[in-house]
Amino acid sequence: MSSALAIGAVSAVLRNLLDNGMVDVGPAVGTVKVTAVAPDTIKLDDPDFGPSLNLFLHRVTPNPGLRNAALPEFDPGGARRSNPPLALDLHYLLTAYGSADFQAEILLGYAMSLLHGRPVLDRAAIRTALEPSPLGAGILPPAYQALAASDLADQVEAVTVTLEPIDSEEMSRLWSAIQAHYRPSVGYVITVVLIEAAKPVRSALPVLSRGAPDEDTGDEPGVFVHPDLLPPVPTAFRVAPPEHQPAVRLGETVRIEGAHLDGSAVAVRFAHPLLEDPIVVDVGVNEEPSVVEVDLPSDAAAQAAWPAGVWTARVTLAPPGDPVVRETNPAAFVLAPEPVLAPAPVIVRDAGTGAVTVTLQSRPQVRPTQRAVLALDGDAAIAEPRTAATDPLVFAFGPVPDGERRVRLTVDGAESLLVDRSTSPPGFDPTQVVEVPA
């Protein structure tokens, strides 16, 4: 495959091809200069400006035939398993410039005839165009010297040159974007350029047998057939909080529902964006294929280690008859915070302004980088900045009305469970209230 220098290498090869072919047109128009720059940089008012050809790369598009030909770049675990090539088509604008009658037309005719006769840039021509000068690589510009390492001649697919018709409307838009005076031009598309990264990858070993061979016969068990629509591998569908609640609290039991969750060495890996490593809870042996139940801890260590917010849970297990440990997909759930209302939080009203300040603790602890919002009925306030997770949360409200107010604490989008959904119809939790002084 080619390297990232391949696009520049194609321009260099085309310019070299045109430069060598313009020797034959010499008697008709004189010395011809071939460039590969933007048309607006060409100085037409230069008194020494003579007949010339310019090759301008104005557009790059993905090749439709090879853009999805390779395997995905990463596996579900995030490890790089391939370097899929970047397949590109290069669109060029070939423009002829002349200072006398018919010069531009003659140049364009010779150039088009030359490219028509070379529909494929063969490997020998590419190597010849990009090899260092026999007088020494030091006489070439640094950019041209670097193109020798493009590996364009070694890519699998051939590089072809095809005339690309451009109608008058598109040509007008193109030259208007370039902001240069129009000159006789023709479009060409170069396909295909394959750019591949040179990064290390992980490649799986060949499969020796489909399952563990039988000890007596040596036959492999083959492919297992499941007569249902369930996934064939351990899969987590969702995490179900208890009592039909939308979130889980520390100390409660969560149900991870899925398929093929029975086995040995069962463990659940809980991950949170604020944690570098997941928290692993060992379950042991699970005999239920459709659910795994996990008791969340609620001790002092858990209050510091389990921040409120959005979590994901993965189940790892060894399925029955399979010694290989499998891991399910992640299933998301919300760990809700709990405002500590016993003992009662400190609520103070300013005698002059009537503003109310509430100071309370939360279970689990709220980390300084987390955003905490406290609502007293319909009035809400954001927690003031803190330096440690053990510091209390301080909320500065406006003149909140006095009396009994329902409390809602929200941490990183996870809201405390004010509504009790275990009853029908649901109702407010009577314990989630505070008394605001007059």
- Average pLDDT (240-254) is 94
Residues 257, 142 share a domain: no
pLDDT at 362: 96
Residues 72, 25 share a domain: yes
Q: How far apart are CA 107 and CA 43, in angstroms?
A: 18
Q: How far is CA 50 from the centre of its chain?
A: 50
Three-class SS state of 118: coil
Which residues, in sequence order, are CB contacts of 291 under 8 Å at separation 6+?
255, 256, 257, 258, 261
Residue bearing the bigger pLDDT, 389 or 46: 389
pLDDT grade for 69, boundaries at 50, 70 and 90: confident
Residue 21 lies in a domain: yes
Residue 20 lies in a domain: yes
Q: How far apart are CA 237 and CA 394, in angstroms?
A: 39
Residue 203 lies in a domain: no
The residues that bridge with 189 in the sheet, in sequence order, are 91, 162
Residues 389, 271 share a domain: no
Residues 273, 135 share a domain: no
Is the bond preceding 343 in cis, omega lying within 30 degrees of 0? yes
pLDDT at 376: 95
Residue 217 lies in a domain: no
Crossing angle (nearest 10°) for helices 123-130 and 6-21: 90
Query: Is pLDDT at 76 greater than 80 in this prediction?
Result: no
Residue 129 lies in a domain: yes
First-to-last alpha carbon distance for the chain, in angstroms, is: 77
Quote the domain boundaries for residue 65.
6-195
Please report the DSSP string for 53-92 in residue order. EEEEEEEEEE-TTTTT-SPPSB-TTS-B-----EEEEEEE
Number of domains in the chain: 3
Residues 113, 70 share a domain: yes
Residue 204 lies in a domain: no
Residues 189, 286 share a domain: no
* CATH for 255: 2.70.50.70
Residues 159, 21 share a domain: yes
| Total residue count of the chain as it appears in this document | 438
Please answer whether residues 335 and 309 qualify as being in contact, where contact means their C-beta atoms are separated by less than 8 angstroms: yes
Residue 209 lies in a domain: no
DSSP 252: S
Which residues, in sequence order, are CB contacts of 316 under 8 Å at separation 6+?
265, 266, 267, 268, 269, 325, 326, 327, 328
Q: How far apart are CA 115 and CA 163, in angstroms?
A: 9
Query: Is pLDDT at 353 greater than 90 in this prediction?
Result: yes
- Average pLDDT (18-26) is 80
Residues 184, 39 share a domain: yes
Residues 171, 48 share a domain: yes
pLDDT at 134: 57
How many other β-carbons are positioned within 10 Å of the β-carbon of residue 126? 23
* Residue that is last in its domain, among 169, 195, 221: 195
Query: Is pLDDT at 135 greater than 60 in this prediction?
Result: no
Residues 114, 93 share a domain: yes
Please answer whether residues 76 and 70 qualify as being in contact, where contact means their C-beta atoms are separated by less than 8 angstroms: no
Which residues, in sequence order, are CB contacts of 159 under 8 Å at separation 6+?
10, 13, 120, 121, 126, 152, 190, 191, 192, 193
Lowest mean pLDDT among 67-71, 194-198, 408-412: 67-71
* Residue that is last in its domain, among 292, 314, 335: 335
Residues 136, 51 share a domain: yes
pTM beyond 0.75: the answer is no
pLDDT digits (tens, 9 = 90+) for 357-407: 999 999 999 999 999 999 999 999 999 999 999 999 999 999 999 999 999
Residue 226 lies in a domain: no
Query: Is pLDDT at 211 greater than 80 in this prediction?
Result: no
* Residue that is last in its domain, among 291, 317, 335: 335
Residues 342, 331 share a domain: no
* CATH for 431: 2.60.40
Based on its alpha-carbon atoms, the radius of gyration of the chain, rounded to whole angstroms, reads 36
- The share of the chain scoring above pLDDT 70, in percent, equals 96
